[in-house]
Amino acid sequence: MQATLVYWEDGGWMVGKIKEIPGVFSQGETLDELLENISDAYRLMIEDEAAEVRADHREMVVAL
């Protein structure tokens, strides 16, 4: 998956968020560390959301 990383420097840290996915933020001492950490944050968010799905759920693809 590809997404847009919006990032900036703050107090010696590289801080960033995924533009297309609200709530996925992370930081690192370097840009490489930020990239690794933001990927981990995304994976954890997906795992948490999957764990919250009810056993009797339904899914539908919709146009937004």
Q: The whole model's pTM is what?
A: 0.76
- Total structural domains within the chain: 1
* Contact criterion met (CB below 8 Å) for 16 and 29: no
Q: What is the pLDDT of residues 14-43, one digit of tens each?
A: 999 999 999 999 999 999 999 999 999 999
pLDDT at site 63: 82
**31 residue type, one letter:** L
Domain that includes residue 44, residue range? 5-51
Taking the C-alpha atoms of residue 32 and residue 5, their distance in angstroms, rounded to an integer, is 12
Residue 11 lies in a domain: yes
The answer to whether position 9 is within a domain reads yes
